[in-house]
Amino acid sequence: MHQHHQHHSPVDSGLGSFFDMWSPDVLLLTLLFGVLYFLLTGPLRSRFANAAPVSGRQKALFVLALVFFYTAQGSPVNYYGHQFLFSAHMFQQSLLYFIVPPLVLIALPEWFLQAVFRPPFMKTLLRVFTQPVIAALTFNVLFSFYHIPFIFDAAAEHHGLMTTYHIVLIIAAFMMWWPIVSPMSEVGQLAGLRKLTYIFANGVLITPACALIIFADHLLYTTYSQAPEVWAGHTALVDQRTGGIVMKLIQELVYGSILAYVFYQWYQNERQSDLPMDQQVGRPEVGSLRPALPDNKSRV
């Protein structure tokens, strides 16, 4: 994952070069992801076993994921997040960890991931690290540690450390999302109320880190202590609190939307179960956020 970090004093104007502000290299990487996706799901699809056409919805979601990825990594959000505004940095992380992974997982076809995880050691790693308890704890503990002040400041000062930590975090985010939107029937989603519990638990686990930031009465991160006010009255401390609020609001919005969707599906399933067999219609897998397949299996 590409990160632009400027460790010198921010310029007074708040404006960087075109390359710093818009990261053409990240744009090229984003376009490359898009080209590969449409090649693999289009002309090269015949090279994969059991390859079926990808729906227009999945294609649209992948493009949307790319837009969010570039917004987070290549737009001024990235530049200001590492130069001036902790709140922009938290918005960037919200996009990378709470929006991009589920969109990508829903957009990827199962046959492609079956090919990726066909090697036994890859499938073993997938099964271990997508176990709900392991996946939830790994992501949320890593995320919380990242926001311990001395760790955050150290990462901000060392490009390699920051890049490595972000790569690990986004991989952990994909693993955390797997039990919710698993693309593979072999290593499936949680079902029904277990999925509701899992989503709720993730919301609880991330709360302490956000609360620490929101309610701190002093500046936690020296990285932003010398940053000029982007607008009058918006001090570094105010921005720090804003960052914690931004992260928590986006996380709550995403988790809340999925909770509502999964609960609605569970409720509809229960209503169908109460009907006589001859009146029941075909039902999707309970709690699934992906199109149901006849052989789909959920973790129970």
- In the chain, where the domains are located: 18-273
Report the distance separating Cα 121 and Cα 3, nearest Å.
30
Instruction: Give the pLDDT confidence of 31-59 residue by residue, as tens digits.
Output: 999 999 999 999 999 999 999 999 999 99
- What is the pLDDT averaged over residues 157-167? 91
What confidence category does residue 226 fall into, taking pLDDT thresholds of 50, 70 and 90? confident
Tokens at 140, concatenated: 């949320």
pLDDT score at 130: 97
What confidence category does residue 85 fall into, taking pLDDT thresholds of 50, 70 and 90? very high
Contact 178, 187 (CB under 8 A): yes
- CB 211: neighbour CB atoms within 10 A? 12
pLDDT score at 3: 47
Those residues whose C-beta lies under 8 Å from the C-beta of residue 161, and which sit 6 or more positions away, are: 154, 155
User: Higher model confidence: residue 268 or residue 294?
Assistant: 268
Model confidence at 75: pLDDT above 70: yes
- CB 88: neighbour CB atoms within 10 A? 24
Q: Which run of H or E residues covers position 189?
A: none
